[in-house]
Amino acid sequence: MKQHKSIVVIPTYNESESLEKLLPQLLALDVDILIVDDSSSDGTVEVVKKHNQSDRISILSRPAKLGLGSAYLAGFARCLELGYDEIIQMDADGSHQVKDLIKMHKVMSNNTAIDLVIGSRWVSGGKVENWAKRRELLSRTANKYSKWILAIKVNDMTAGFRIYRSALLQKMNLKSIETQGYGFQIEMTREALRVGAAIKEVPITFIERTMGKSKMSNKIVREAIVNVTKWGLIRFWSRS
């Protein structure tokens, strides 16, 4: 399948409407695409196949809804096996814009010292659109809390719009990553820094989905809070 040095990994669960818009935009770039689908029932796979006229899209089908974290890890493993140099992670729901991906990729291409580019909502120039105030407050607070308790100088650790160099992922202990919800992004940031990654945050505009159904839940929020607190306490104990 490999035709380009970069590949976009997109986890999906019932995202057919959003993919109709996203896939043509991505296919206009010099990237391949890997869809990690958790048994969607809305025709997501059929939409992907329809747009795969140039064999640049592959599908990793999973038997059930197994979680965001495991979907990305399965996708990363497949991409590393195929020998891609850069692995892009991106949401399927339209919240991440291709024009921001172009900007992020330019930053990485112009600086070979950068191992990970994060599309950030919470740096100067970054913003969100169509979010409820409660959702924005939750995200801002979660990131500030994570930044403080983990002593990490990244402003948007929960960001899911990223470009990893494969060399970084190969150094990271991906088997140690356990979080399944949005805390997965925090755990990946923490592990990347553990192995000495150089991280650059690039401002993006995050747009709340207009199609499909959000996967955010109270369970996901609780998982992230519990794990971040646990990691923070481990850090404090190791210093004492």
Domain boundaries, the chain: 6-239
- Contact between 65 and 13 under an 8 Å Cβ cutoff? The reply is yes
Mean per-residue pLDDT of the chain: 91
| Pick from 58, 60, 59, 117: nearest CA to 86 | 117
Q: According to the model, what pLDDT value does residue 220 have?
A: 65
Q: According to the model, what pLDDT value does residue 82 have?
A: 95
Q: Determine the average pLDDT of the residues in 45-53.
A: 94
pTM: 0.91
Dihedral over Cα of 228, 67, 92, 165: its sign: positive
State percent of the chain over pLDDT 70: 94
Look up the CATH superfamily of 6-239. Spore Coat Polysaccharide Biosynthesis Protein SpsA; Chain A (3.90.550.10)
Q: pLDDT tens across 88-100, in order?
A: 999 999 999 999 9
User: Would you give the end-to-end CA distance of the chain in angstroms?
Assistant: 51
Q: Determine the average pLDDT of the residues in 150-172.
A: 96
Identify the band that residue 45 occupies on the pLDDT scale cut at 50, 70 and 90: very high
Q: Determine the average pLDDT of the residues in 118-146.
A: 92
Neighbours of 114 (CB within 10 A): 18
b/e 70-105 (16+ beta carbons within 10 angstroms → b): bbbbbbbebbeeeebebbbbbbbbbbbbbebbeebb
Q: Check residues 228 and 122 and name the one with the higher pLDDT.
A: 122
Identify the band that residue 131 occupies on the pLDDT scale cut at 50, 70 and 90: confident
Q: pLDDT tens across 181-226, in order?
A: 778 999 999 999 999 999 999 999 999 866 545 555 567 677 777 8
C-alpha separations of 53 from 48, 83, 104 in Å: 10, 22, 27
Q: Which long-range contacts (CB under 8 A, 24 or more apart) does 109-114 make?
A: 111/200, 113/198, 114/165, 114/198, 114/199, 114/200
SS3 217: coil
Q: According to the model, what pLDDT value does residue 77 have?
A: 97
Q: According to the model, what pLDDT value does residue 210 have?
A: 62
Identify the band that residue 237 occupies on the pLDDT scale cut at 50, 70 and 90: confident
Q: What share of the chain is helix, strand, coil (3-state, %, to 5)?
A: 45, 20, 40
How far from chain centre, in Å, is Cα 97?
13
In this structure, the chain runs to a length of: 240
